[in-house]
Each structure stands twice: as structure tokens, then as C-alpha cells.
Amino acid sequence: MAKVIVRQAQYDYEPLKQHIYYMLDQFGGAGIKKGSTVLIKPNLLGPAQPEAAMVTHPLVVKAAVEYVLQRGALPQISDSPAMGSFEKALVVSGIREALRGYDVVFREFKESETVSVGEPFNRIEVARDALEVPFTINLPKLKSHTQMMLTLGVKNMYGCIVGLRKPEWHFRTGINRYLFAKLLVQIYTVVRPSVTILDGILGMEGQGPGKGGSPRELGVLMGSSDAVSLDISVCRMLGIDPFALLTNRAARDMGLAEGPIDIDGTMPEIRDFKFPEITPLVFGPRFLHGFMRRHLVQRPVCDDAACRSCGECWQYCPAKAIERRHKHLHFDYDKCIRCYCCIEVCPHAALRAEEPFLAGTIKKVLRHDL
């Protein structure tokens, strides 16, 4: 039976550290070998201060580092940010300062190794560092996500895909969210972190996971050796069907979400969490899919007043569907695969997903509501 530990917590370091130490003790931390390297994988989406709720809080990372050091091992903090540099993400997030003077390695994921994962992707390239360490501590942030609804324990391991390989995978899976969810689960099964501790003390709701989302005090810290069970528990806490989250559904279909879950602690009931608006990508008759993709599916749009022409969106876009023309962003919606990476990486919250004008009327026709 999978076990999930739930604790009410704040960023008060001493009690927070006690909670994290307990979770690590419960999930194999005592077996960390002296002299070994322990990988610590926070959510470092990009350069953002802790109060923005975009990244794992530095005190959560600090507690994990201190635990590893007490075991006589070497902590290595690694990730591959979607926007900005790894170093800038460490500095702006406060992680670099929180760990000043500690014997810790900061190492961006840069080298990949190809591993076999079976159908439908067969082989994927994962950060070599994530494959070579004997113990991995996964430190995700509880955030909403405009493409996948939520980003939790399983999805945090997508950071083990190196650099521009991430948008390449978005392009390969296209607008099929379930296919992308299956990719995320396969990455998780390959890396398989030893323990996952979710920072939900200050979470994010709304149009996350970037600066378009809104910080939300949730006051919860959760841990498990099984990130799928943890993610299922989060969905129950938020009052939704756990398998509405596609990574959970994909995990279930792969035989990874079976059996009861033992909850250690009191699970809060959060029933007013604001989820992002995510419309169905494709539905209706197949011969209309091209037309509907252009006129029904939410598409990225730009707030020109907020845009600073930094270039993050068009450089990251896997479909190369964004150009800068006459001081305005131009989207080629025929090329756009609706992965919403541009919204995720925009450092100025200038992009959002918007339903095309004709969508409401066309949906009514298809549903025979007129």
C-alpha cells in the first residue's frame, strides 16, 4: 500500500525542517550512503522570487540539503529551466543565498542518455545526472498548469529533459494532451525519484505555471515514495476526480495507480481552488478537425502593453509559430500546436490562452443546442 504523508506547514524553518526530515526518514533517507551523491530536483521553471509561487521555496530545498549532509552524502541540485539561465533561477529564487556556505553542488542538466521506454515513444533522452545517482529527492511545487491542469510530482520530472529537447517533445506529442501525459509518466518511471516532497505551502492557481498564475496560501506539505499516489491525493484534496489529471489517468492505464493509499496526517479539504480554463483540443467529425483546431481551440494571444519583446516565446516555440512583426507578435495558428509553452515561459505574463470568437457558436451547433 502506498503511503502519503500530509502536514500543515508554513515557511517557519525549524518546524518545516522537522516535517521534511520525518518524510525523508519514512521513505528511505536513512539508507543514503556516506560519500554518495544525492540528486535534489526542485521546480526551477525560471527566475522568480519565492512569493511568486513559481519555484520550490528555498527553505524546502535547504532542509533537504541539510538532511543529505547529515547523512554524510553530497547534495547536488539540478534542473533545466524552461526560461532564463539555471544560475539566474538559483539567484532570483533565493536558493543560492539560502545555501551559501553549504557543501553543495549546483549543476544544470546538460548531457543526455538515451533509454528505452516502450510504446509509444520507444526511446527518450533523459539527463544523465538523473540516471546515475543512487538517490533522488523530487521537490515539486503545487501549481496550476494551462496545458495539463496541474503540475505536481510526476510532471516535475520533465525537468530531467535537457534544454531544447523539451519543446521538441511538445512538438512530437502535438495537441494530444494524453499522449504528452503518457510521456511524462514514462519519464517519471525511468528516473523514479526515491522520495517526492510537494511544496504546497504557497501554491499557484489560475493560469499557471508561470507569471500568469496567482499565488495561493494552501499551507500543506506532502511526501511519498510514490509520486503518482501523491498526485492522486492532491486531486482529492482539491475536490476533483484524480483521473481528470491526465498524468494520473496515464499512470492508471500503465498499471501504476492501483490499490488504496494510506494517508499519514489530516488531509485538508480545499474546494475553491481556481483551475485554469482548458478546452477540449479536438472533437467532432474528423473532416472538421482542421477547421475546429483553428476556430475552436484556445490559442495564445499577446497583450501588447505587457510584452517587452524579450524573445523568450519565439525562441522556445517548438512549432516555430511566433514571429515579431512591426513591434507586435504574430502567431501562425496553422503551425501552432497549442502546447502553450509560450505562455509558460513568458517572464512578463504578457501571453494568455483565449478562445476564438466563433468558438461558442460553433460548439452550440455541434452539440445541437441551437
Could you tell me where in the chain the CATH 3.40.50.11440 domains are found?
2-264
What does the pLDDT read at residue 44?
Answer: 97
Give the residue-averaged pLDDT of 201-211: 95
pLDDT at 369 over 50: no
Write down the mean pLDDT value for the chain: 91
Closest alpha carbon to 13 in 58, 59, 76: 59
pLDDT at 252 over 70: yes
Report residue 237 as a C-alpha cell. 484534496
What does the pLDDT read at residue 283?
Answer: 45
Give the residue-averaged pLDDT of 322-330: 91
What does the pLDDT read at residue 326?
Answer: 84
Burial class (CB in 10 A: 0-12, 13-18, 19+), 103: exposed
What does the pLDDT read at residue 296?
Answer: 63
Write the class of the CATH domain 2-264.
Answer: alpha beta
pTM: 0.85
**Could you read off the pLDDT of 106-128 as tens digits, one per residue?**
999 999 999 998 888 888 999 99
Contact 54, 348 (CB under 8 A): no
Count CB-CB contacts under 10 A for residue 91: 13
The verdict on domain 286-366 having CATH code 3.40.50.150 is no
The dihedrals phi and psi of 177, each to the nearest 5 degrees, come to -65, -35
- State percent of the chain over pLDDT 90: 74
pLDDT at 362 over 60: no
Quote the CA–CA distance of 93 and 64 in Å, as a whole number: 16
Could you tell me where in the chain the CATH 3.30.70.20 domains are found?
286-366
Give the residue-averaged pLDDT of 21-26: 99
Q: Band of the pLDDT at 287, cuts 50, 70, 90? A: low
What does the pLDDT read at residue 277?
Answer: 79
- Write the secondary structure of the chain as one string of H (helix), E (strand) and C (coil): CEEEEEEECCCCHHHHHHHHHHHHHHCCHHHCCCCCEEEEEECECCCCCHHHCCECCHHHHHHHHHHHHHCCCEEEECCCCCCCCHHHHHHHHCHHHHCCCCCCEECCCCCEEEEEEECCCEEEEEEHHHHHCCEEEEECEEEEECCCEEECHHHHHHHHCCCCHHHHHHHHHCCCHHHHHHHHHHHHHHHCCCEEEEEEEEEEEECCCCCCEEEEEEEEEEEECCHHHHHHHHHHHCCCCHHHCHHHHHHHHCCCCCCCEEEECCCCCCCCCCCCCCCCCCCCCHHHHHHHHHHCCCEEEECCCCCCCCCHHHHHCCCCCEEEECCEEEECCCCCCCCCHHHHHCCCCCEEEECCCCHHHHHHHHCCCC
> Interhelix angle for 246-253 vs 177-191, to 10°?
70
Contact 129, 13 (CB under 8 A): no
What does the pLDDT read at residue 170?
Answer: 75
Q: Band of the pLDDT at 338, cuts 50, 70, 90? A: confident
Q: Band of the pLDDT at 286, cuts 50, 70, 90? A: low
Q: Which residues of 231-270 are buried (b: 16+ CB within 10 A; e: fewer)?
A: bbbbbebbebebbebbbbbbbbeeebbeeebebeeeeeeb
What does the pLDDT read at residue 365?
Answer: 56
Burial class (CB in 10 A: 0-12, 13-18, 19+), 214: middle
